[in-house]
């Protein structure tokens, strides 16, 4: 029987809570999200805490993690407690209620539920994790706007197919893209994900980068940029 956790180099993530498995989106965002030493960080919809733990490993920050699902939130607390990282706090709350606390952050990160066009799963945990039932893009940017300091940054990942929905929601709340990373599974394949760094101030045209997970159709033939981004986390590199 497989172990109910994913082992990284410096921590492990227990992820038996349905719908919150360690996956490529979370790993890429956790490794890339450009938080800085000294930032106050908020992970919205933290799941079992993967992204927050990755940020805590590579930067000296304080991290708050908010998660509506009690099973996932409990696992996030377990994962934080078993890690060597400090200044991390998990809140089992709806982000709507959490935003009422009045605290603001230098950096916000989110791997949101984004399947707005598919049939929601009957499993409650999977539905909360993957479908825009409780946190649609418009609400996400509205809450992020309230929780972010005026000069703060907001990093998010979503599918290319949801581009219009996310960018229209960002624009409505006064967010501007500063960096755009286009994630390709392999060369000659279309973009599957976008990692975007948003700010509340216009700064001209955003920088754009193409990022390839694999460099060929051969299984596990990972690109140099993927290895470089994840080498501090994955045991295989």
Q: Report the CATH number at residue 158.
A: 3.40.50.150
23-61: per-residue pLDDT in tens?
999 999 999 999 999 999 999 999 999 999 999 999 999
95/65 Cα distance (integer angstroms): 10
Overall number of domains in the chain: 1
- What separation in angstroms does the CA of 116 have from each of 47, 112, 136, 138? 19, 11, 8, 12
Residue 12 within any structural domain of the chain: no
Residue 14 within any structural domain of the chain: no
The range of the structural domain enclosing residue 197 comes to: 19-230
CA angle 137, 62, 135 (to 5 degrees): 15
Say which range, 16-25, 31-40, 219-228, has the weakest mean pLDDT.
16-25
Q: Is 68 helix (H, G, I), strand (E, B) or coil?
A: coil
Question: Who has greater pLDDT, 77 or 204?
Answer: 77
> Are 214 and 222 a contacting pair, CB within 8 Å?
yes
pLDDT of residue 18: 62
DSSP state of 120: P
DSSP state of 133: T
Question: Who has greater pLDDT, 113 or 81?
Answer: 81
> Which residues are paired to 88 by β-bridges?
63
Rounded percentage of the chain residues whose pLDDT exceeds 90 = 83
Residue 3 within any structural domain of the chain: no
Radius of gyration of the chain (CA): 17
Pairing mode, strands 176-184 and 207-212: parallel
pTM score: 0.90
Residue 38 within any structural domain of the chain: yes
Residue 171 within any structural domain of the chain: yes
């Amino acid at each position: 029987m497989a172990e109910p956790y994913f082992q990284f180099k410096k921590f492990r993530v227990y992820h038996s809570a349905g719908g919150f498995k360690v996956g490529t989106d979370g790993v890429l965002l956790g490794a890339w999200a450009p938080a800085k030493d000294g930032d106050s960080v908020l992970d919205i919809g933290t799941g079992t805490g993967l992204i927050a733990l990755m940020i805590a490993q590579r930067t000296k920050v304080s991290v708050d993690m908010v998660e509506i699902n009690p099973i996932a939130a409990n696992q996030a607390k377990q994962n934080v407690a078993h890690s060597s990282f400090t200044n991390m706090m998990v809140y089992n709350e709806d982000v709507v209620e959490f935003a009422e606390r009045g605290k603001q952050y230098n950096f916000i990160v989110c791997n949101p539920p984004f399947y707005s066009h598919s049939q929601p799963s009957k499993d409650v945990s999977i539905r909360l994790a993957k479908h825009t039932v409780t946190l649609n893009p418009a609400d996400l940017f509205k809450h992020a706007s309230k929780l972010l300091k005026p000069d703060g940054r907001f990093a998010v990942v979503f599918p290319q197919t949801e581009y219009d929905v996310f960018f229209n929601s960002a624009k409505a709340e006064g967010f501007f893209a500063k960096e755009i990373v286009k994630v390709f599974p392999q060369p000659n394949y279309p973009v599957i994900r976008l990692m975007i760094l948003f700010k509340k101030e216009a700064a001209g045209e955003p920088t754009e980068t193409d990022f390839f997970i694999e460099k060929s159709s051969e299984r596990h033939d990972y690109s140099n940029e993927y290895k470089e981004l994840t080498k501090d986390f994955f045991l295989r590199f």
